[in-house]
Every structure is written in structure tokens, then in C-alpha cells.
Structure 1
Amino acid sequence: MSPASRHAGPILHLRGHDTDGLRLAAILIRPESEACGTLRAGTTELQPRRIATLEGLAVWRFDLRLDSADRGYRFEDRDYPVETDLSGDLRFAFLSCNGEENGDMDRDPTERDAMWERMRAEHEARPFAALLQGGDQIYADEVTQGHPLSDGWPEDLPESTSAADLGGLAAHLRRGFVARYMRGFAGPAFGALAARVPTLAIWDDHDICDGWGSLPSEAADSAVGQTLFRVAREMYLLFQHGAVEADIPEIFADPTGAQLGWRRSLPGVTLMAPDLRSERRRRRVIGEAGWRLLETPAPEPERTFIVSSVPMLGPRLSLVEAVMWLWPGMQKYEDDLRDQWQSRAHRADWRRALRAVLNLRARGPVTVLSGEIHLATRAEMAAEPGAIHQLVASGIAHRAPPKGYARGLGWLGSLGEGPLSGHPIRILPLPGMRRRYVAERNFLTLERRDGAWSAVWHLEESGKTPPLPI
């Protein structure tokens, strides 16, 4: 790691909100030999707690509370403003796919983080109250390279593994994960945002490995696969939530940690995200712990945003699955298609999820936020008393796929889909656009102004879309 990437923070994580204000965690990452100063929240001086030491780095955490009068905190002689009055106008940012499968560590930071710089400018113009991260915050696909046990995984499985060998593999994987997380945290735009905007993150496959959960069971359940998942989970908790295993009951909906979905209630709005990776199998998207989160409404659901790391309202990808075996070479995309709610293998799960969203819609407006596909698009599902919106913003750092890919998905989207009778799904163009899918890097802003919500996509080439009322 370069010297610059051995320091990160403060990074804020949103723990909750109640009548006493915002509950936050702030983490600092520094070389083990360096001390960490104190943090002042209001009139309270807080001491840091070291929650982890790895790869020569110490991870420190402050647990703090800010009421609406505090307007921020002070750390090591520097003030950091934070939006603490959440009762009126409100603004969120949503992003996904912060990296690429191959060579991401070697990219020019100016090119890679260009959309982060735009997001920072948006925050400086009108501050965000929360930063919602929809999956693939890192691309860990290459961490298995360079170790004899995992070099050929998932296709090649070692015939035997000892505890010592697996311990060596875990150390190798941990180094790779730490380097990738620190690369992301070292970016000046991310750092400026994360120190001032509390984040909430859900993971997706690349935070573990490409296609995790849709891989053959013999690979996922192997000693190598389980070591990879265990290390990825440890790193996800630490870097994306500022947490360790003991913190799980406080942070996540399932106190056992079998499912890392979460729910947060803010004034007039509920944010929730089922974990679509921890319980996933080739014929299952989530298990019963995940269903409990998705099927249990919030006490006061004035407005619900659901983060689904893969799009919940999508085109008829089952048609592609049905014919992919006719073309040589198409089989390599089987795991990508199996990853989607719309896969033929997940039809029952998909219907159950849509019924759960319809039940939430009966209690208040519902918007699904999704990423994963490296494109921008939107969809609606017919419902009473009004449509359910899905907003897809994918690829804040991942370069856009070819325009032909977007046109092909647009053709599938034109066919329509209706897995639940009476509730057709339509894939629709973004405001001001002709095509259903836009192949540009992008992120999304969500805004409540005078009680009304709207969404704006920020596209790398086309700029901002007109606001979409939701």
C-alpha cells in the first residue's frame, strides 16, 4: 500500500435516529504506531476505541450522538459539518459498482473517481443527509490470485487442505481485501463525503467474488470458498459498517448474523435493505431471516426505500436463460443470469418478494433502489394506491458497457413482464431520455422538498436528468 492509503477517516456510519438525534459511528484507520486523537460531539469529549488491528493498520471507532442543534463534530482541531435536522427537506445519494473486475487497483485515480468528484460537488452545493451504497463497493475478484489454494478456484478445487494452509490463505485474502478497501477510502472525494455524510451499505457479489451464491455448491461449500466468504464478511463488517462480530445485534435486523440486512427509521422515511448474498444459493435468493426483514413493515411507513442489490423489477431474463444453450460460449453467463431475481431458478422467490413490496405499498409509498447492471434505468410496477418505482443507478466507477448491451436489454424491457397477475412491470426511460437503459457511469440523488420526493440521475456524459416525482 502507498503511504497515502494507510490513512483513512473519519468515516461516518449511520446507526439510527430517535428523539435524541442521530446515532453514528466514526472510524479512523491509521498505522498501528500512530495515535488517534479525541472527538468532540456537542459538549462531549469522546475517546477512541480500537476495534481491529490488521496488516499493520489500527481501526479506531467513536460511537457518538448528534442532536439537531449540534450541526456536526470536531476531530483533531477540525470541524466536520453533518446534516442533523432531518425533519424537513432531506437529500440522499445512492450509488453502486465502485470498481471493476480486472485491474481496478492500477487505474488512474482521476479517471476512476470522476463521478465521486461530481457527487462531492453536489454535496457542497446542497448537503446530503445519508450516503446509500447499493453493493459492489469493492471488486474483490482478483484477491484469490497468487495463492496455490485459490488460484484455480472456483473451477479447480484442491484435493486436500490443512488448517495451516487455510490460515495462510485467509491471511493472503485479507491482504487483498484491505488493499482494495483502503484504495477506495484514500480517494479525496470519497473521504470528504464519508467524513460528513453518514453511510449505509449493503454488499453484493463482487464484495466477495464474482457470482457468489450463484456458483456451483461444491465450489462455494469447499474449504477455499468458505474461507473466502468468512474473510469477505469480516472485511465487509469492518470497512462498510465500522463493526465487528459483537456489534451485529445492534446494527442488523437478524441478531444471529446469518443475514446482514438492515433497517433504519428517519423522520418520515424508512430505509431498509435485505442481504441478497449471505443466504443465497443457486435456487434461493434469501432465507427465512431475510424474508422476516422484507415482510415485516416498519411501525410508521410514511415512505419506504428498499435497497435491492440486484434489480427487483426487471426484464424477461428468463427468455435469455431458455435459449442461451443454443449459442456456443453463452454458458459462461449462466452465473450472471442466475444472480437475478428474474432467473427461472428464482421465480417463486421473486413472486414472494414482489408480494412483500405490494404489502408495504398498501401502507405508504415504496421505492426500490438497485444497482449491479452498470447501467441507469427505471421501472414501475402497477399497484394500489399508486405505482411502485424502481430506480437503478449502477456504475459510479465501473466503466459503462457497450451501447449495444443497453439496446439489447431495452428490447427485452419492451416485452413487459408480469409475474403477479394484475401488477404488470414496465421498464421505462429516464426523464428526458428515449431509450430504456443508459450506458454511462452514474449515481442518483433523492430529495424531499416541502414533503414531496423526487429523483435525479447524474450521468457522466448527459449530465443531470430532469427530476422524476416519486
Structure 2
Amino acid sequence: MTEKQGFAGPILHFRGCDGAGLHLAAITVRPDGTGAPGAVETQRGAVPPVLLARVAGLSVWRHDFTLAAGEPGYRLENRAHPVATRLDGDIRMAFVSCNGEENGDLERDSAERNRMWARLQADHARAPFALLLQGGDQIYADEATRGHPLSQDWPKHVPADPSAGDLEDLARHLERRFAERYTMVLAAEGCADLFASVPSLSVWDDHDICDGWGSLPESRTMSAVGRTLFAVARRMYLLFQHGATEADVPALFLDPAGRNLGWRRDLPGVTLWAPDLRSERNRHRVMGPGGWTAVEAMRPGGDHVFMVSSVPLLGPRLSLLESLMMAIPRMQHYEDDLRDQWQSHAHRDEWRRMLGQVLRMRETAPLTVLSGEIHLATRAEMGPEAARIHQLVASGISHRAPPKAYARALGLFAGLGEAPLPGHPIRIKPLPGQRHRYAAERNYLTLDRKAGRWQAVWHLEDSGPTPPLDLD
């Protein structure tokens, strides 16, 4: 935890931009009883905070404000926070995922844990980012269930009929555990200044709830304990990753009913969108009616489309690996991990459906998929050159990389190729300047638009930045 426990912020969240300027929400977290933060000061005047929520002994405050194009930033409590407010020309964005580890994340050495965050912050100081895209697993909540009788053995054992009082006690326990992880991440040295100056857009993945959420047996996820866990995780996700509550859902997400938390934002010349692959997931589907209605109604604008898919959309023949592993009894405990993937036997028709939608969008503008989840860096291409779709995977901003031997073996397996749609083969390719298809190093991704053309650069912990990859 930080020296000032319970304090975090300001943390910027991107709400949109138009002729009036850049619309932002900034949240500030303080222990109950320490008072409200001061007003945010902009060229238009002072904006007081509103109390957004009280949770786990913390008060979460929000400032909603607009910065005019070219305005240098804002001030809060006598400190200036610069913000890149011109989005209509050359801009930079950063993409990260997998900010934590399954076990012992709170006890890790902060300097080691956040080494790549410190590099990203230094990169921002050299050439400011306009937006930070976070592609899933912003926290690792897997240990949050420990320490309470109802969830101590989650998901192996779930009480059959817990009382309402015990479930309320579990919810309070989970709120404390989730809040502890969020404040640790958001206030960490090497991250805090970045979050105060670069607006975020985030999509969640399983570890923001629990490992394998939606691919676990429904006897677990649909139990009273499972629904309590999901409800708390959702509330904390909205609060800390979007600066929002349930009342804000219709304005911020594509499904006004909130069944699915996919979102869309438009910048000059760019459409950014992210389907939510967790809220409606179960062992037999990736998305439900809320998600699919939003995707099929999507009509991107601009000169480039960036899709954030928390689980890689373009991948190797994992259905073949799934069949092989299920034939080996001691490997069957990996079933949930493989069922999490678009390429699983259980989701193959749905995968083709999403690929068809992506190809439809590609007819109007170049489209790039951004993804994380696998704790490796890689890239993929789909289709003929005239309608090529890029996928850029940057995974492991703080999660340590798996062994290089694992990455090499996965790369050999990826060489088998995959073509779920006729005439649109998927090819897994090495990063620019790399020999192997998968790079087993912690990493983040930067996206630069210069003179109207986009390039991507991976920043690897040991190898350094890759040569740029053209995306148009």
C-alpha cells in the first residue's frame, strides 16, 4: 500500500470530445472523515466535487469538467496536471493490460511490480499521451474471496443456502478487498501521475472479477455467493475504472439496460469501441442479447477503427489444443482457461459471428484489434491484404512473463494456422524486429498518429521498443 493509505487520485476518465472540448471525469479517493477535495480549476472556472460513493471506509469524489482544445490542463489543490487536449491532429495513445498477478500481488516490491509503469510514465513525459486504453485485468481480485467463510474455498466449494445476513457480510468483506486492490493500483508510485494526466478508457476481464469468471461451472457463478461476488466486482469496476455508478450506465455504455458494459467513444478521425466479454458470459456463450445488439448496430465513423477485445480475437487453433488436453485427465483442469478463448469449441460459431461483424466494419475504414490477457506480446493478421485486419496483443504491464519455452511452444503451435472464415486466414506473426511469434517479456503498446497515419510500437522490458508497425 502507499504511504497515505486510502488516498488516491485524481484519476481521469475519458467521457468524450466535441466542439466544446475534452469532457473528463476525475475521481479522488479519501478515507471517510478526511473531508472533500477542493475544486478543479480550469480556464472556465472552478468545479466543485460531488460525493460519488462511500465504500469500505472510503469516500469517492468526482469532478466533471471540460477542457477546451489547446488548454494546458487543470489544477486541483494547488497542483497543476497537464493534459493533452488537442485530439484532431498528431496524437499518441497507450494500451496496457494485465496489471497484477494471481497470488501475492499486494505484497510485491512496488519498484519491481511497477517497472513498466514507470517507463510508460517517462514515455508520457517525453511525448504526452492523449488517452490510456486499459484492456482488462486492471486488478487481480483472485485472493479477494479469501478470509470469509462463504467464499474461502471459492470456487471449489460454495455453500448451498447462505442466509441474507451472511451474504451481506460477504459483500462488505469483498468491498474491502476490492477497494484495497484498486487503491493500491491507482495510487502506486510510477502510476499516479500518469492517471492524473492521461484519461483512461477501460474494459474488464476475468481477474477484475475472479479467475475464469463465466467459464466456471454455472453451479458456481449462478450461486448466491457467485452473484454476490459479481455484483460487488461490477460496482467496483464502475466506480474505480469508469468513475461511475449504476445511474451513469445509460450515458456511458452501449446497452442502456446495463446487461452488457460495452462502450464506444469517437475522437476526430477515430472510433474506439470495446465489447464487454464478461457481463453476459457463461460456459456456452461469450455475449448475450445486450452485447450482440450493440455490436450489430455499430456503425463506426472516422478514418480508423480500434476495437478493444479483452480476449484475443485472432488466435491459433486452440480448439485443437482443447481437444488434446481434454483427452489427458491430469490436464483437464485447464479446461476453464481454454473455454475462456474465442477459439474454444463452445464459442466457435459465436467467434465466426464476431469476425463477420469486424469484416463488415472493415469495409468502411482500416480496423485494428487491441488485446491482452495472455501475458505475452504478439500480433496477428487476418484476411487478404486489401482488407487486412491487424491485431496487436500487449499483455503484462506488471504480470511477470511466463517462461520463454512456453512462448516458443505456443509459437510452434500457432504455425498450424487458422481460417474460421473462408478466404480470411489468420496468421500469428512476430513483432517487428523479433524472431519468434510470442515475446515473453512484460510490455506495453503505444499508438501514434502522425500526418493521419497510424503506427504501433511495443515496449518490451528487456528488448526495448520495437521498430514501428504501420497500421493503415
Is the pair's TM-score, using the shorter chain for normalization, greater than 0.5?
yes
Question: Does the CA-based 8 Å contact 1:4-1:186 persist in structure 2?
Answer: no
Q: Partners in 2 of 1:186 and 1:299 — Cα distance?
A: 35
Shift of 1:309: 0.1
Aligned to 2:254: 253
1-structure distance, mates of 2:301, 2:322: 40
Q: Distance in 2 between matches of 1:189 and 1:152?
A: 34
Aligned to 2:33: 33
2:177 maps to 1:193: no
Which residue of the partner structure matches residue 415 of structure 1? Answer: 416
Aligned to 1:308: 309
- What letter matches 1:23 in structure 2? H
Name the count of aligned residue pairs.
470
What's the CA shift for 1:18?
A: 1.1
- Using the aligned pairs only, state the percent identity: 61
For residue 295 of structure 1, report the CA deviation from its aligned partner.
2.4
Normalising by the residue count of structure 1, what TM-score does the alignment of the two structures yield? 0.98
8 Å contact from structure 2 (residues 23, 65) kept in 1: yes
**Which residue of 2 is the match for residue 90 of structure 1?**
91
**Residue 3 of structure 1, CA deviation:** 4.6
The residue that corresponds to 1:175 in the other structure is: 176
Which residue is equivalent to 1:446? 447
Match of 2:5 in 1: 5
1:276 aligns with 277
Tell me which residue corresponds to 2:156: 155
Letter of the 1:297 partner, please give it: M
1:392 counterpart letter in structure 2: V
Where do 1:168-247 residues align within 5 Å?
Answer: 168-247=169-248
In 1, distance between residues paired with 2:258 and 2:385?
34
Q: Secondary structure at the match of 1:283?
A: coil
Give the secondary-structure state (helix, strand or coil) at the position aligned to 2:225. helix
Hey, what's the Cα distance between the residues in 2 that align with 1:254 and 1:415? 38
Q: Is the Cα contact below 8 Å between 1:361 and 1:383 reproduced in 2?
A: no
Taking the aligned partners of 2:10 and 2:80, their CA distance within structure 1 comes to 11
- Asked if structure 1 preserves the Cα contact closer than 8 Å seen for 2:428 and 2:437, the reply is yes
| CA shift for structure 1 position 293 | 2.6
CA shift, 1:288, in A, is 2.0
Write the mapping of 1:15-94 to structure 2, written as runs, cut at 5 A.
15-35=15-35, 36-94=37-95
* SS of match in other structure, 2:101: coil
User: Cα distance, 1:384 vs. partner?
Assistant: 6.6
Match of 1:112 in 2: 113
> Aligned equivalents of 2:42 and 2:366: distance in 1?
35
Contact 1:270 1:298 in 2 (8 A): no
Q: Does 1:137 align with 2:177?
A: no
Q: Kindly provide the amino acid, as one letter, of the partner of residue 212 in structure 1.
A: W
Hey, what's the Cα distance between the residues in 1 that align with 2:437 and 2:300?
A: 35
**Offset at 1:152?**
1.5
SS class of match (1:51): strand
Deviations 1:375-430, CA, capped at 9 Å, x for gaps: 00000001473310000000000000011211121012101100000000000000
Deviation at 1:325, TM superposition (A): 2.7
Unaligned runs of 5+ in 1: none
Measured against aligned partners, the alpha-carbon deviations of 1:268-294 in whole angstroms (never above 9, x if no partner) come to: 001100000000010100112212232
Matched, 1:332 2:327: no
2:3 and 2:30 map into 1 onto residues whose CA distance is 10
Retained in 1: the 8 A contact 2:2–2:187?
no
Between the aligned partners of 2:159 and 2:100, the Cα distance in structure 1 is: 29
Structure-1 separation of matches of 2:105 and 2:327: 33
State the match for 1:381 in structure 2: 382
Partners of 2:227 and 2:290 lie apart in 1 by: 20
Name the counterpart of 1:14.
14
Question: Match of 1:102, as an amino acid?
Answer: N
State the alpha-carbon separation in 2 of the partners of residues 144 and 205 from structure 1. 14
CA distance in 1, matches of 2:14, 2:292: 23
Per-residue displacement from partner, 1:95-119 (whole Å, max 9, x unpaired)?
A: 0000000000100000000000000
Q: Deviations over 1:131-186 (max 9, x none)?
A: 00000000000011111111112121213211000001101111110110011012
Q: Which contiguous aligned blocks of 4+ residues in structure 1 show a shift greater than 4 angstroms?
A: none
How big is each residue's C-alpha offset from its partner over 1:185-213, in whole Å with a ceiling of 9 and x where there is no partner? 12122111111000000000000000000
- Check whether the contact 2:56–2:172 (CA below 8 A) recurs between aligned residues: no
- Displacement of 1:43: 2.4
Moved more, 33-42 or 204-213: 33-42
Residue equivalent to 2:344: 343
How many angstroms does 1:302 deviate by? 1.6
Q: Residue 25 of structure 1: CA displacement?
A: 0.2
Whether the 8 Å contact between 2:326 and 2:335 is mirrored in structure 1 is no
Unaligned runs of 5+ in 2: none
Contact 2:300 2:361 in 1 (8 A): no
Aligned-residue RMSD, C-alpha = 1.1
Residues in 1 aligned to 2:278 and 2:24: alpha-carbon distance in whole angstroms:
25
SS in 2 for 1:329: helix
Q: Relative to structure 1, is the Cα distance of residues 384 and 249 closer, same or farther in structure 2, using a 3 angstrom cutoff?
A: farther
Which residue is 2:321 aligned to? Answer: 320
Partner of 1:285: 286
Once the two structures are overlaid, the 10-residue window that deviates more, 156-165 or 453-462, is 156-165
